[in-house]
Structure 1
Amino acid sequence: MLKNYFTIALRNIKRNKLRTLVHVLGLSLGMAVCLLVFNVVWFAHGFDTFHDHADRIYRINSSIEWEPGSFFQSSATPGPLGEVVDEELANIFQKGRLYILHETMVSIPEQNRQLGRSNKVAFADPGFMQIFQREWLAGDPYTALNEPESAVITVASMEKYFPGSAPHDVLGKEILWLDANDSIMAQVKGVVRDYDQKTDFFFQDFISFSTIKKKGKEDWYGLQSWGNLNTSSQLFVLVAEHTGKSEIEEGLKTISDKYYAEDANSKNEFFAEPLANFHFNENFDNTAVSRSMLDGLIYIGFIILLLACLNFINLETAQAINRAKEVGIRKTLGSRRGQLIFQFLSETFAIVLISGFVAILFADLITQYFREYLPQGFEPSYFNSLSLVFLFVLMLLLTFVSGLYPAFVLAKYQPQRALKGEVHHVQGFSVGVFLRKNLTVIQFSASIAFIILVTVLTSQLKFIKSQPLGFEKDAVLYTNLPFMGERDTRETFADRLRNENFVEGVSLSGVLVSSNSIWTSDLIVPRDTSETRINIHVMNVDSSFVDVHQLKLLAGRKSNNQKDELLVNRNFLHEAGFGNPSEAVGTIVRFGGDNKTIVGVIDNFNARSLKEEIMPMALTYNPDYFYLLITKVSGKQNMAYAKERLENLYKEMYPEETASFSFMDEQLAQFYEEDRKIQGVFGFASGMAILISILGLFGLSSFTIAQRTKEISIRKVLGAGVLQLIGLISTQYVWLVLISFALAVYPAYYLSNMWLQEFAYKIEMPFLMYLGVGFGVLILALLVVGFHSIGVAKRNPAEILKSE
């Protein structure tokens, strides 16, 4: 019996090639998107799930009140919290402290060999290795990090530092790490295997945390003060069984109340972040995946698949008229309704099965096209067991969701009426007609909403690109210098670059003119008998910074590279109560505990993305913390050559370093990278939605025209022209698109307006574009219906009416 069902299904597929092509195209696109989204979500949720007791591991984070009513959350914790957390909280089974080192130079003294800089070095205490357990190949896991100046390395580091050595052979060997101006010599006390599962804990060199105390560097690393927060300082806890997040945070509140009692203004609140959330928030390598983006992908995948199902239902229902006599004959020969339903579901499954194989191909193509949009390290295999199981379950689900209603429609035909061709006699309200029209409305509403969202996103991103930022960004290159390196070397290098004929200016600074980083502080301005305290954005730069970036000077002069001089921006004037720029010049203010003189006022410029307002700003000079070199190149110079030449000069000055030059405009583009990805995803979704909707419209128009073929022929006999007939058929679709547009406007407005609220500088809502989108979709729908109906309108009425 089952074999017969599939034989009939294959015959119908071959007989109706166009219908099958439409079905396979729509369903395979929907399944491909869902398959890709499933793999992305599974990949993102698969990080660090392999740790023992992963459900009991938490990271302690901080929440700081940035300004009244505005809280800033950070993964940083003050150093003293790591000292007392297990003493203050009874339900802490183990604590693990980690302090991350950046751009650390690694050397092997006995080999007199430097291995370059690494971002995989961290201070760790024994508790960290107990929480995040590894396979130990050499050394004692309980004592290896107990003593100061001890270290544990992974196999990857061992093979790099001591090629050809076995784990036990490297025990006792010394490694030198140079961090900023601090050198750390430690003996290898253990070797562990690298994680081969997905993890955000990529560190390979672990130095004992007690080394910091022995060297008297607690203050240097900011670990002595409850008021110091540095994202390098991380605290993890393994809690006792049956201990919930709320219990931990209740205890953390007690700690906060106790240790911040004397200074309510600088109070930090602490909260516990489960390890399962770690990959979706602030992690070590800036590879965090936006959970809201993942949720959005799930919704989009569901919507596209739903549209494909609606399209299938529409088209199958429209084609039901062609199989009415088949149903009548089968019922006359004794087929029961259940058998007919199962037969039609079998045919649906055959189409879905073909679509599933095509979906794998489409999923791979979409993956390659959207490679830059996908998470780092994501390499899906659509033929693995997990993907195939998901695809099979999805196919079963689609078979029932898409095929059940058309199967019931076909199976309910009465034999005597079906054989006479009277299956379309409808009296009063018809559920079938109601569903078909409303399913099409839903399809077009989703399509129009997607397209409106894309137009708004595109318009906003174009607006952002066109906005003046207040500084020069073209032909500006920058590079990192060794942090806390020798000042004379930096200045010699800057002078060397100034001698190049294609270089127009060079600046040394501690920050880019516009970046995601921010240093804020309070500046006190004396005003008559009172003082005004202003929260300012601080930038540590030299005097050349103004010329290199062509900042507009409103009053006064540039700084002369003196630590007691400041430049302020226009917004500072308003906050400080100055009427004009000249009035501020010469004012002595207090900043960082020292008196400083305002020597100049510059115009506002966007030091951060256009999602934020420009803060009151002060430009100060502290050369000890310069680690960036910024170069303005002549616009007539070949940029590829200039970059190569600058990097060669860098290598001559710093032969052990590996940094390279980057373009400032590329850095600025990173501000809106996620928004650009959202635009791309919505653009793809709108393309899929409108394609599937057009297929759905084809199905509905097929059904309507098939029902009205004789009516059209009679009207033609009575004198109606081809254009009149096409207009008659198209009228109802105009109303369907208009209703779809009306339903789509508010959701599109709500979502696009919510996104625009993230920008301090944004466009006005482009309502005319809404109308343009609606009109464009209407024209597209009329073209589809017109092309479909023109054939019927041109047919000879005699061929259609000869049976009457």
Structure 2
Amino acid sequence: MLKNYFKIAWRNLLRNKVRTTIHILGLSLGIAICFLIFNIVWHAYSFDNFHPDKDRIYRITTMNDYGDMKYQYPAAPGPLGEVIADELVGVELAGRLYTLPETHASIPSTDRNFGRKNYIAFADQGFFQVFPRKWLAGSPEDALSEPNQVVISERSAQVYFPNEDYAQILGKEMRYVDSDTIYATISGIVEDYEENTDIVFQDFISFPTIKRYEKEDWYGLHSWNNINSSSQLFLKTADGYTESDIQKGLTAISEKHYEEEEGETTFGLEPLSELHFSSGLLDETGTSKALIKGLLIVGGIILILACLNFINLETAQAINRAKEVGIRKTLGGDRSQLVLQFLSETYLMVIFSVLVGLVFADLILKSFQSYLPSGFSIPYLAGFNLAFLFIFSLLLTLISGFYPATVLANYRPQRALKGEKEGVGRFSFGVFLRKNLTVLQFTASLIFLVMVLVINSQMKYINSQPVGFDKDAVVYAYLPFMAGYEKASLLRDRVRQLNYVEGASLGGDAISSAGIWTSDVRVPNDTSEVEFFTQVKNVDSAFVSVNGVQLLAGRNLSNQDNEVLVNERFLKEAGISNPQQIIGTSIDFRTDPQLVVGVMRDFNSRSLKEEIMPMIFFQQPDYFNVISIKLSDGINLAAAMTGLRDAFSTIYPFEEVDYLFLDEQIQKFYEEDMRIQTILSFASILAILISGMGLFGLSSFTISQRMKEISLRKILGASLGQILGLISKEYVILTGVSFGLAAYPTYWMAQQVLESYAYRISMPYFQFVLGGLVLLSLCLIIVGTHAWVAARTNPAEILKDE
């Protein structure tokens, strides 16, 4: 019986090639998108879910609340790691990690250098208890118990000591250069994680080494008030203790150690499952949950559109199979058999759609690879993917095919065999449903289209806005960490001698970056004192000229340590209207009073999503980490980059350099917005394509059903324009209803997007009208084409049998 069902289904698919093609293309696009999104979500949520008792592992976070300004850091102060085991009840294990970016690694015995690595950190024994690993050599009990010990991963061992036995590597010495030179003996080798993880570190220097070198102050581990993102603290709760129990204990600790501090500092718990979606251990931005939710919504809408297409077209064409249903019922077929017959046809189309969808998924994956996580791929034959496709195809068959199958199975045989249409002259639920499904398709397509137009307008506005400094032809590079001011100044002087360089400046960061340094400041104003939060930048005296920033009052920085510049917003916060008024004023900033010598015009040091903050510019040469270089116009960029790299390698022969263009880095502020725009553009194309295919099939069928009416109207004198208008009127009305339904949801979503920018366009209502006109034009082209063909048909050919 089942074989017979599929044989008949196959014949029906071949008999109706246009209908079958539309269904398979529509469903395959929906399947491809859902399959790809399923793998993206699966990949994102697969990180660090393999650790034992993962549901009981948390990372400590710190929140500073200054009223209007709140800052949350994925970090913990150093002293908390020392007292947490004694002062917090319910903690089974606690592990400390202090990340060391850009740390130079070498082997002193052979003088082999491995350059700077990002995968080196200080760790204590508790860390390997919270996150246990397989030990290939050494013992977890004492591997990190003493100063100057280091545990390395299998991958590091193969790089440092290729082809050597792990047991022979124990006891060998490594040299690490960070703020100081650290010699550490290899005390253990652990296996690398093969699963997806954010704990990617490969060299773990023992935490007691910090005390041996008396570097607690340097690393910011000495004070409860120092919150450094490198300082990480993980804990594993004991059985029977909930997250709220631990949170109460953390609140008590913060109240104890911050009772006399201004503002409010509290600690929080971040579940291990959220680590991948937070700021990473290497200080990179985590995967956006909002983007993942958006992908799920987009995938769901695209799939729903494909299913609506199927239902709409199948119910419209059901009348053509009425006689088939009548014969089957007359020959003894019951309703359940008919439903199974029509569901088998749907299932066969879904199977073909899955195969085509996998091809589409691979094409989409290759086209959008740069938007996906590094190293992401689809394991097509993995168990979870095969299970997904099997279950998904069954659900899709039921969702898409059940209603059309029920409609077909409910035809009454005596009327079907006579060729009578059910419900003539009465309300037709089928017609009502088809119109509403068409409206829903148009509505979804319109929302996608208008949102693309709105985001595009906002991005054009952002790119056209002046940022207050010269971002063109400026490159910058990060200097080796703590390599010293002497070498940095030598590099600056050497770069200035190049004939294609207009100027060079040293600082703590580029003029515009995602990083931020903040501090509180107190400014005298008449008889009172104003205190507020300000952004801080460490710059030299060339900062103003290299970056093209304008001074409004006063002078530039000299070589005095206690001089600062401020910006216009600083004056506003201090309640000062005249820039000259603050020149020569002493303000309380950091530990010593600072003299204000100049006022800068406001500029955007961060994304235009944020308003300009009050800013202080001061000099601290020992902490210069970046060199910024202004290039001349009309130069050979390739040759210039080669010259700049040569200058860098002359001063830092063992370091690699990557010069970054400032304007390109500024564009990265809006990477997620550009991704959203690209995804929505792609989704709108798919939505319009699916809706267009459905409209093509539906209009073709409905017009074919009205051919006799059209022929009679032509005989009675109706013109071509009148016939086109008659047929198109219905679809114009449907498009208008869709516009009305889409207007408010689109307005609300556009408003949410625009409000995320401090600098934004007003609501672009014209884009709403433009989107509606585009959709209406597409609708009229599709329907008008069919109507024109129908209107040009000879009436005699249609009415010759009447």
TM-score range for the pair, normalised by the shorter chain length: over 0.9
Distance 1:530 1:70, change over 3 A: closer
* Matching residue of 2:395: 397
Q: Is the CA contact (8 Å cut-off) linking 1:348 and 1:399 kept in structure 2?
A: yes
Give 2:722's match in structure 1, choosing from 721, 724, 727. 724
* Matching residue of 1:577: 575
Instruction: State which drifts further: 420-429 or 33-42.
Output: 420-429
Q: Letter of the aligned partner of 1:92 in structure 2?
A: V
What is the CA–CA distance in structure 2 between the aligned matches of 1:691 and 1:70, rounded to whole Å?
A: 46
Q: Is the CA contact (8 Å cut-off) linking 1:287 and 1:376 kept in structure 2?
A: no
What is the CA–CA distance in structure 2 between the aligned matches of 1:537 and 1:257, rounded to whole Å?
A: 27
SS state at 2:222 partner:
coil
- Alignment of 1:281 onto 2:278: yes
SS state at 2:612 partner:
coil
1:676-715 matches, within 5 Å, as: 676-715=674-713
Q: Letter of the aligned partner of 2:174 in structure 1?
A: I
* Matching residue of 2:27: 27
Deviation, 1:501, is 0.5
Q: Is the CA contact (8 Å cut-off) linking 1:256 and 1:270 kept in structure 2?
A: yes
* Matching residue of 2:438: 440
What is the CA–CA distance in structure 2 between the aligned matches of 1:590 and 1:82, rounded to whole Å?
A: 32
Deviation, 1:214, is 2.2
Instruction: State which drifts further: 705-714 or 48-57.
Output: 705-714
Q: Is the CA contact (8 Å cut-off) linking 2:67 and 2:263 kept in structure 1?
A: no
Q: Is the CA contact (8 Å cut-off) linking 2:89 and 2:246 kept in structure 1?
A: no
* Matching residue of 1:43: 43
Q: Letter of the aligned partner of 1:453 in structure 2?
A: M
What is the CA–CA distance in structure 1 between the aligned matches of 2:739 and 2:159, rounded to whole Å?
A: 62
Q: Is the CA contact (8 Å cut-off) linking 1:475 and 1:639 kept in structure 2?
A: no
Deviation, 1:287, is 5.7
What is the CA–CA distance in structure 1 between the aligned matches of 2:633 and 2:206, rounded to whole Å?
A: 50
Instruction: State which drifts further: 649-658 or 570-579.
Output: 570-579
1:504-519 matches, within 5 Å, as: 504-519=502-517
What is the CA–CA distance in structure 1 between the aligned matches of 2:550 and 2:381, rounded to whole Å?
A: 59
What is the CA–CA distance in structure 1 between the aligned matches of 2:429 and 2:130, rounded to whole Å?
A: 61
SS state at 1:508 partner:
strand
Distance 1:727 1:693, change over 3 A: same
SS state at 2:109 partner:
helix
* Matching residue of 2:11: 11
* Matching residue of 1:664: 662
What is the CA–CA distance in structure 1 between the aligned matches of 2:792 and 2:164, rounded to whole Å?
A: 85
What is the CA–CA distance in structure 2 between the aligned matches of 1:407 and 1:702, rounded to whole Å?
A: 21
Q: Deviations over 1:418-440 (max 9, x none)?
A: 22221244343222111111111
* Matching residue of 2:325: 327
- Alignment of 1:764 onto 2:762: yes
Q: Letter of the aligned partner of 1:25 in structure 2?
A: L
1:320-719 matches, within 5 Å, as: 320-719=318-717
What is the CA–CA distance in structure 2 between the aligned matches of 1:236 and 1:230, rounded to whole Å?
A: 15
What is the CA–CA distance in structure 1 between the aligned matches of 2:576 and 2:300, rounded to whole Å?
A: 56
- Alignment of 1:300 onto 2:298: yes
Q: Deviations over 1:716-765 (max 9, x none)?
A: 22111222112111111111110101111111111111111111000111
Instruction: State which drifts further: 793-802 or 354-363.
Output: 793-802
What is the CA–CA distance in structure 2 between the aligned matches of 1:717 and 1:333, rounded to whole Å?
A: 43
Task: Report the TM-score, using the length of structure 2 for normalisation.
Answer: 0.98
Q: Letter of the aligned partner of 2:135 in structure 1?
A: W
Task: Report the TM-score, using the length of structure 1 for normalisation.
Answer: 0.98
What is the CA–CA distance in structure 1 between the aligned matches of 2:652 and 2:6, rounded to whole Å?
A: 72
Q: Letter of the aligned partner of 2:365 in structure 1?
A: T
What is the CA–CA distance in structure 2 between the aligned matches of 1:505 and 1:440, rounded to whole Å?
A: 62
Q: Letter of the aligned partner of 2:24 in structure 1?
A: V
1:165-176 matches, within 5 Å, as: 165-176=164-175
Deviation, 1:703, is 4.0
Deviation, 1:579, is 2.6
* Matching residue of 2:83: 84
Give 2:774's match in structure 1, choosing from 769, 776, 785. 776
Q: Letter of the aligned partner of 2:305 in structure 1?
A: L
Q: Deviations over 1:116-149 (max 9, x none)?
A: 1111111111010111111101111111111111
What is the CA–CA distance in structure 1 between the aligned matches of 2:455 and 2:615, rounded to whole Å?
A: 30
Give 2:269's match in structure 1, choosing from 267, 272, 282. 272
* Matching residue of 1:742: 740
* Matching residue of 2:71: 72
* Matching residue of 2:246: 248
What is the CA–CA distance in structure 2 between the aligned matches of 1:103 and 1:698, rounded to whole Å?
A: 59
Q: Is the CA contact (8 Å cut-off) linking 2:504 and 2:628 kept in structure 1?
A: yes
Q: Deviations over 1:505-524 (max 9, x none)?
A: 00011111011111111222
Q: Is the CA contact (8 Å cut-off) linking 1:483 and 1:626 kept in structure 2?
A: no
Deviation, 1:500, is 0.5
Q: Is the CA contact (8 Å cut-off) linking 2:81 and 2:233 kept in structure 1?
A: yes
Deviation, 1:327, is 1.6
Q: Is the CA contact (8 Å cut-off) linking 2:19 and 2:697 kept in structure 1?
A: no
Deviation, 1:535, is 2.0
Instruction: State which drifts further: 480-489 or 579-588.
Output: 579-588
What is the CA–CA distance in structure 2 between the aligned matches of 1:163 and 1:416, rounded to whole Å?
A: 84
Instruction: State which drifts further: 68-77 or 197-206.
Output: 68-77
Q: Letter of the aligned partner of 1:174 in structure 2?
A: E
Deviation, 1:376, is 2.2
SS state at 1:501 partner:
coil
Q: Letter of the aligned partner of 2:270 in structure 1?
A: E
* Matching residue of 2:801: 803
Deviation, 1:700, is 3.2
Q: Letter of the aligned partner of 1:59 in structure 2?
A: R
Instruction: State which drifts further: 718-727 or 755-764.
Output: 718-727
SS state at 1:438 partner:
helix
SS state at 1:728 partner:
helix
SS state at 2:606 partner:
coil
SS state at 1:110 partner:
coil
Deviation, 1:174, is 1.1
Structure 2: stretches of 5+ with no match in the other structure: none
Deviation, 1:391, is 1.3
Q: Deviations over 1:615-674 (max 9, x none)?
A: 111111111100101110112112222112111221121111112211111110110001
- Alignment of 1:217 onto 2:232: no
Q: Letter of the aligned partner of 1:140 in structure 2?
A: S
- Alignment of 1:133 onto 2:122: no
Structure 1: stretches of 5+ with no match in the other structure: none
* Matching residue of 1:195: 193
* Matching residue of 1:102: 101
SS state at 2:62 partner:
strand
Q: Is the CA contact (8 Å cut-off) linking 2:316 and 2:430 kept in structure 1?
A: no
- Alignment of 1:754 onto 2:752: yes
Report the identity percentage. 53
Q: Letter of the aligned partner of 1:14 in structure 2?
A: L
Q: Is the CA contact (8 Å cut-off) linking 2:136 and 2:188 kept in structure 1?
A: yes
What is the CA–CA distance in structure 2 between the aligned matches of 1:415 and 1:796, rounded to whole Å?
A: 34
What is the CA–CA distance in structure 1 between the aligned matches of 2:783 and 2:422, rounded to whole Å?
A: 21
Q: Deviations over 1:532-584 (max 9, x none)?
A: 22322111100111001111111222111321211111122222233322222
Instruction: State which drifts further: 511-520 or 106-115.
Output: 106-115
Deviation, 1:587, is 2.2
